[in-house]
Chain A
Amino acid sequence: MIQFESVSKSYDGTHRALDDVSFRLAPGEMAFLTGHSGAGKSTILRLLLGLEKASTGVVRVAGQDLSQLSGETLGRYRQRVGTVFQDPNLEMDLTVFDNVALPLRIAGFAEQDIAKRVNAALSRVDLNDRAMDKPHELSSGQQQRVGIARAIVHRPALLVADEPTGNLDPELSARVMRMFTQFQQLGVTVLVATHEQAVVESLPFRRIVIERGRLRADGSAR
């Protein structure tokens, strides 16, 4: 599903954020991308989301070289990827329903389809009864769940999460991680970037460890 082949990324020609990183993630696999702050995790995610291009090497998703995408094709690619952030980044003027519906509206789904999919996504994160609320009426844990519902509403084949439990207490973190596990069981490829060791060690998934822009370890949980 995901393929990094000798990928390097440097800024201004000098600072190397990534140095010769290679790894693969099979369809339906879940993995943690770990490392300290500034190790290069976010750069990998930005490359994976097509926000940046690799200086050297190739990034492929579902066989597609991301450096070849631009404009409309890049937009269509991103419409097939689910993204969860540390801060759910919700639109405060919109209801929970409309926030979750956003990716579907952007992708041009029909209204009946949107209603069905949004209700299904909200059921998955147990927020069906809050559909008409505004985000500021929800707790931070509920807001994060809205963000997750928005990431899965269009049934992406790839789910990318950047520090998804950073703002949550341990109990909520565990709940969010259980959700990701469920998505993986449904066949979604999940890549979670986190520096929280407790979260990583609580689940038996593969760990890709990045240190100073280089791949330090890549393997299964101990």
Chain B
Amino acid sequence: MMQRWVRDHRDAWYAAFQRDRHRTGQTATLVVLLGILLAIPGWLAHALLSIDEITPRATESSEVLVFLEETLELEDRMIMERRLGEHAQVTELIFVPRAQALSDLAKNDGLSSIRDLADDNPLPDVYLLRLVPGGASEAERDVVAQALSQSGVLAVRYFPSIQARLADVIGVLGGVVIAMIILTAFGVSMAVFVVSGAEAFRDDRRLQLYTLLGASRRYIRRPYLYRATVQGALAGVLASLVVWGINTVLSQAFSTELRSLGAPNEALMVRWEVWIALCVGAIGCSWIGAERAIALRLNRMH
């Protein structure tokens, strides 16, 4: 039994490579095409994981400026201050009176002539809110929403930290990566499906012969599936090399920017998860494409 199993699989591998020998150009073209196709979501996934790695190292806080209406009574302002200060995301709440704002503007921005407006100060009173470093961008937006809902608020300005902005990018990129993975998996499966379908069409007589000799579908499909497995593995390795190549070039081109973000070296290396996902994904999609093509051909024959 075991001997038969070994022989059947050995024969299938032999048949797979024998057939590949005659179709080297076709195989090479398909592998390159699939490799490049797979590199797109592969690199996006790597970028996503790298940003995720960099994000927690940023220590800057987001800030929210709440501009108050001139007519706001002290009592109402106190209530607002208490409410805003109670928000879990707020670590520091600073009241900047309009006179101080004018003075700071004159001092810090070199606009000394603006002091002349002291009797007719156009600036409003402001609350400066400093938020928890590394807080989720959704939670930070909740602070902004709460500030806007207060009566007596003229306007609100939100200055997200690099961390919060990266978190937004991760959210968007995550969606793009998932969409690209689905599209690429479909594309790879379809490419292998079409090529295997054409191959099965050419091998029609062989498929008929094996059927007439009493071979099971599993037996007939095996060489095609092994061939697809090898093609998928090669495409996965090629895709990994493309991702590595792009990553190396971009890391060098943006080395200064990455260092300013405190990017650790390991964040810039292609992770083993990406390598494995690319190879396993390529083999899986290739296998499914070939399996469907041969099954369809066998169904049409009978």
Contacts and interface: CB of A to CB of B under 8 A. Distances in A.
A91 B223 CA distance: 14
Contacts of B202: none
Contact of B7 (A52, A72, A79, A111): A111
B209 A75 contact: no
Interface of A: 49, 51-52, 71-72, 75-81, 83, 89, 91, 93, 102-103, 105-108, 110-111
Contacts of A51: 211-212, 302
Given A49-B212, A75-B215, A105 B205 contact: no
A20 to B, nearest CB: 24
27 contacts: A49-B212, A51-B211, A71-B216, A71-B217, A72-B216, A75-B215, A77-B214, A78-B211, A79-B213, A79-B214, A80-B214, A81-B214, A83-B212, A83-B213, A89-B205, A89-B206, A91-B206, A93-B15, A93-B18, A103-B214, A105-B7, A105-B11, A106-B219, A108-B4, A110-B3, A110-B4, A111-B7
Nearest to A150: B213
B210 interface: yes
A51 B211 CA distance: 9
B5 to A, nearest CB: 10
Contacts of A103: 213-214
Contacts of B8: 105
Main secondary structure on B side of the interface with A: helix
Given A49-B212, A78-B211, 12 more contacts: A71-B217, A75-B215, A75-B216, A76-B214, A78-B214, A79-B213, A89-B206, A93-B18, A103-B213, A105-B7, A105-B11, A106-B214
Nearest to A90: B209
B205 A102 contact: no
Interface in B206-252: 206, 208-217, 219
Nearest to A88: B209
Contacts of B302: 51-52
B113 to A, nearest CB: 92
Contacts of A105: 7-8, 11
B212 A78 contact: yes
B257 to A, nearest CB: 56
B8 to A, nearest CB: 8
Contacts of A81: 214
Contacts of B18: 93
Interface string B191-213: 00000000000000110111111
